[in-house]
Amino acid sequence: MATESRTMHSPPHQHGHASTQASTQPAHSGPAHADHSVARHRAAVAELLTGLRSADRTETLPLHAVLGRGLAYDVSAPISLPPFANSQMDGFAVNSADIPDGGADLPVADPLPAGATPAALESGTAAPIMTGAMIPAGADAVVPVERAVPDRFPVPGAEATVWLPATAAGTFVRSVGSDVPAGELALAGGTFLGPAQLGLLAALGISEVRVHKPLTVLLVTTGDEVVEPGQPLPAAKIYDANGTLLESAMRQAGLNVLRTGISTDRPEELRALLHAHAPAVDLMVTTGGVSKGAYEVVRQAMDGQQAEFRHVAMQPGGPQGIGTFDAVPFLGFPGNPVSCLVSFEMFLRPVLAELFGSPAPRTPLRARLAHGLTSPGHKHQVRRGSLQADGTVRLEGGESSHLMHALAGSNALVHVPEGVSALAEGDEVEVWML
Amino acid sequence: MATESRTMHSPPHQHGHASTQASTQPAHSGPAHADHSVARHRAAVAELLTGLRSADRTETLPLHAVLGRGLAYDVSAPISLPPFANSQMDGFAVNSADIPDGGADLPVADPLPAGATPAALESGTAAPIMTGAMIPAGADAVVPVERAVPDRFPVPGAEATVWLPATAAGTFVRSVGSDVPAGELALAGGTFLGPAQLGLLAALGISEVRVHKPLTVLLVTTGDEVVEPGQPLPAAKIYDANGTLLESAMRQAGLNVLRTGISTDRPEELRALLHAHAPAVDLMVTTGGVSKGAYEVVRQAMDGQQAEFRHVAMQPGGPQGIGTFDAVPFLGFPGNPVSCLVSFEMFLRPVLAELFGSPAPRTPLRARLAHGLTSPGHKHQVRRGSLQADGTVRLEGGESSHLMHALAGSNALVHVPEGVSALAEGDEVEVWML
């Protein structure tokens, strides 16, 4: 835990009544109360999870099984790429010294297909060479077939000559190691393995690699007001969006997700559930019950554990729980769906990318606002938006954290940093594509 | 097939010799030879695959099984979101008419937790209300607890009064249907189902949806020069990067991929392989053997099938095969790894997104070049690059299509449209994040 940790001891829960907790906690949480910055809380999450990055949590798997994983070690190139000098074009392999400035007619030698080891080029001849074929000894350049006269390959076996223009040594030759030389770093440990990275490993002849094992996370949504989708909806209740939203985001990020169903607002029920699953998981994430209301089940269930509940200077997603439960890392996200996703994107996802190389990190982009906005100046505001083809970003929905439909119509998070209280149309903002 | 189709009849293959094909085809393919534009070829790919979008190729699955799929129908909201007016804050539910401009002291009523159906608010009182709790009849606004005096909730049961400032009707009330009203379109058919979209469906109480079934694609890499990763590498041979690269990109895009291993340059071998697998797949993709060289195994294997080989005005990835083999849609990508990925990203991936709602479409972004570039003016050039935090894009590697290491170090494709032959540092380009 971070040094700023302060264990939260909540009073016993009184079911059906507001607990006394609210009256013993400061209800106001403005900047005067030393909110944690986004960066400080993210660093605390990284510190919490760093112990999960260890050698015994890696495994060696074939390439087809590691798509979306993070590489666990630096991979050096075992061979050069290309492995040998080869032709970049369908054309004629020549010795550049054989063709004077005005061009020359040269007898055509046997063709050189890709994959065959060629005989040395006889001095003063031109050999038809296919893209990717090895440059023969004695040749140092390739003239593309469309620059030859005639601009096609002669029928093999028939005697022929071809006129070729002068060409500089090295032209259309892919030299050995010009992509990556043997022995050099090909991919650094912590690299996300997407199609291009796996393609590079295959090109190097590597058929299996050591990667980080995926973490298993216990995901528990809480709240007496929450009902499973597909069930009837009683008055004053809402369907659980958080479970599906976060499970999907976590799976997309490469985590194994263990769902427990919805926990009620009884802390002893939640506590029993966490005790039961703790031995089998690497991380616990709860939603709801971390705020300053009168019924905060997660705060209450964490009584006696090493956890604290803080306010991060972020909107939405300010109230955050962090610590351990039975020594298992624990994060308590707030209860609104948009707050949940923003918490995941701002804290857990970037830390996973940094520590385990998976998921791929979000690339910070720059875009101009399609319209102005306001923001609480003392908080980092995260808005939802749609990036338009003209490079502007349109905000979807307002600041409010319950707008799932607006979130589902967005493709980006829009960042308004702490210290900024208003932005105008056309102002540039940082944007993360979802 | 598109009306511009022209069936290609290649001559019989003569193993070990250059075929006569090259001399009967125009070897030059400049703009004078009516190259297909990128848009025209993409439209032809869409036409080829559109028959695969049909009702019997959809299935109804629970939410946890449809992450990354495309929605097969328009989904209307079965309930409003929010389903009832509720509080946006922890605070006091009031009737705004009870508080004059200067504020008022009000007796505190019983607290209203989330999930409970509240009794009507007694006129002239204020009820502690938690975020998400139903607004009681008789109340029309919420005053946040931090604006109250005292700024905390009284102990329940004890008699108390609270001073509250005047507040407008509707303040901090999330009204019924303010996110989406019942009956309105929630998600359109063809929507990609990511975390936010699945979260919305869950919030609406929907537990299963009808989605497009994933296509099964047969992926065949070809070439006598190509060796499986993990095997020894003979002289003049290279490892197969295309298979791993494309399989990964296709799986990331939601396709089922059937790999056959590498086919040699013998067309009869490739033909037998395609015949054997045709009944079990929706689409065939080959790599290599579609160009104008002397040994073009895919062109030769397609003899007698409804397929043509064309040159698309694109660099890399110009030579493209398209048609059907045993009535199964067929695409022939060129043999260089970067050309393969660019072909997939430019033609197959956007068509899958458009027809089947999966994968998620690439969002076109705008970025400024970190340095100048040149491009063949008569082709759409696709460069690889890294988007920087300052909003500029740095090119990785040159134009050459064999640079796997450079591709693996890129996070974006950079588009230089047809008609543009040079761009300067600072010029704006369209960029697709990979």
The per-residue pLDDT for B215 is 98
Could you give the C-alpha distances from A430 to A368, A380, B19, B388, in angstroms and in order?
A: 9, 12, 56, 12
φ, ψ of residue A427 to 5 degrees: the values are: -65, 145
**For A40-69, what is the mean pLDDT?**
97
What is the three-class DSSP state of A242?
Answer: helix
A146-160, A290-304, B120-134: segment of lowest average pLDDT: A290-304
- Preferred mutation among B173, B402, B431, B433 to probe A, highest tally of A CBs within 10 A: B402
Q: How confident is the model at residue B1 (pLDDT cuts 50, 70, 90)?
A: very low
User: Integer distance in angstroms from the first to the last C-alpha of chain A?
Assistant: 30
The per-residue pLDDT for A113 is 81
Contacts of A132 in chain B (CB under 8 A): 223, 225, 238, 335-336, 402
Query: Taking 90 as the threshold, does the pLDDT of residue B333 lie above it?
Result: yes
Helix-helix angle A195-203:B242-252, to 10 degrees: 160
The per-residue pLDDT for B7 is 31
Minimal CA separation from A407 to chain B, in Å: 6
Contacts of B145 in chain A (CB under 8 A): 27, 292
The per-residue pLDDT for A26 is 35
What's the token pair of residue A163? 């006129």
The per-residue pLDDT for B30 is 37
**Residue B190 one-letter amino acid:** G
Strands A319-325 and A306-311: antiparallel
Could you give the C-alpha distances from A338 to A320, A383, B199, B310, in angstroms and in order?
A: 14, 10, 10, 48
Query: Taking 90 as the threshold, does the pLDDT of residue B108 lie above it?
Result: yes
- Closest residue to A365, CB basis, from B294, B387, B404: B387
Q: How many CB pairs under 8 A join A and B?
A: 367
pLDDT digits (tens, 9 = 90+) for A15-44: 333 333 333 333 333 333 458 999 999 999
Q: How far apart are CA A397 and CA B179, in angstroms?
A: 8
Question: CA nearest A26 in B: which residue?
Answer: B152
Contacts of A22 in chain B (CB under 8 A): 152-153
Helical H segments across B278-372, by residue range: 297-301, 337-343, 349-356
Q: How confident is the model at residue A295 (pLDDT cuts 50, 70, 90)?
A: confident
- Closest residue to B249, CB basis, from A83, A156, A195: A195
**For B133-155, what is the mean pLDDT?**
95
Query: Given an 8 Å threshold on Cβ–Cβ distance, is A291 in contact with B133?
Result: no
**For B54-76, what is the mean pLDDT?**
97
Query: Given an 8 Å threshold on Cβ–Cβ distance, is A407 in contact with B243?
Result: no
The per-residue pLDDT for B391 is 84
- Closest residue to B294, CB basis, from A111, A203, A231: A111
Task: Identify the CA nearest to A270 among candidates A300, A246, A291.
Answer: A300
The per-residue pLDDT for B34 is 55
Q: Report all structural domains of chain B as residue ranges with CATH numbers, in order of start.
A: 21-56+214-356 (3.40.980.10), 70-79+189-212 (no CATH), 84-175 (2.170.190.11), 364-433 (2.40.340.10)
What is the three-class DSSP state of B133?
Answer: coil
Q: How far apart are CA A248 and CA B64, in angstroms?
A: 8
pLDDT digits (tens, 9 = 90+) for B160-207: 999 999 999 999 999 999 999 999 999 999 999 999 999 999 999 999
Minimal CA separation from B326 to chain A, in Å: 29
- Closest residue to B433, CB basis, from A20, A187, A433: A433
Query: Given an 8 Å threshold on Cβ–Cβ distance, is A229 in contact with B244?
Result: no
What is the rounded average pLDDT for all residues in chain A?
91
The per-residue pLDDT for A293 is 66
Minimal CA separation from A307 to chain B, in Å: 23
pLDDT digits (tens, 9 = 90+) for A321-331: 999 999 999 99
Contacts of B338 in chain A (CB under 8 A): none
Query: Given an 8 Å threshold on Cβ–Cβ distance, is B205 in contact with A231?
Result: yes
**So what's the ipTM on this one?**
0.90
Q: How far apart are CA A381 and CA B137, in angstroms?
A: 33
Helical H segments across B280-373, by residue range: 297-301, 337-343, 349-356
pLDDT digits (tens, 9 = 90+) for A164-208: 999 999 999 999 999 999 999 999 999 999 999 999 999 999 999
The per-residue DSSP string of B404-431 comes to HHHHHT--EEEEE-TT--EE-TT-EEEE
Contacts of B76 in chain A (CB under 8 A): none
What is the rounded average pLDDT for all residues in chain B?
91
**For A107-135, what is the mean pLDDT?**
93
Q: How confident is the model at residue B11 (pLDDT cuts 50, 70, 90)?
A: very low
Query: Given an 8 Å threshold on Cβ–Cβ distance, is B187 in contact with A406?
Result: no
